[in-house]
Chains A and B, each alone.
Chain A
């Protein structure tokens, strides 16, 4: 069945460092992947997405990398700031509209 999981449940970094959050997925038929950020007491917020026909996509301070060979997805945050502290979820879309979410990684940015 479909499953999305995270290698690291928690990540602590220093302000200004780069952060890398990893995600593994199992459904090779997934064609779309998203990263969401969820701050305490709020709903998930879209960060960046990538389609399966791409390997890399860049946004503002964020980059998503997709390795279909090993079914691995990562989110890179450049120059991490205290405001980046949150739980980050990866999600995949398979053959239908449903998104399957991972359990999340807690990112803590130390000043």
Chain B
């Protein structure tokens, strides 16, 4: 039982390049989330998927797209990377359909640098 896994662990991009961050969970959770964590800013929600087949914007969605590929996998795509997207990205999942009582389980993070 690996929990939440993320790939890659580290990535360096040039401005304008695209890439996809992968996330998978093996806990049969319904909801999945993408956050970014920046110094002095805390964790900020980018996108979430309350259940398979649905996605919604969070606090900071601009410049990102997501795909809930199936119940296990939720990917985050940067179409044209910008230096402002340099951050640590965390994927999380939670077991309940309703986010009202969520306890979220986090992956180890992807450290992205955009030059």
Q: Is B truly associated with A?
A: no
- A residues touching B (Cβ–Cβ < 8 Å)? none
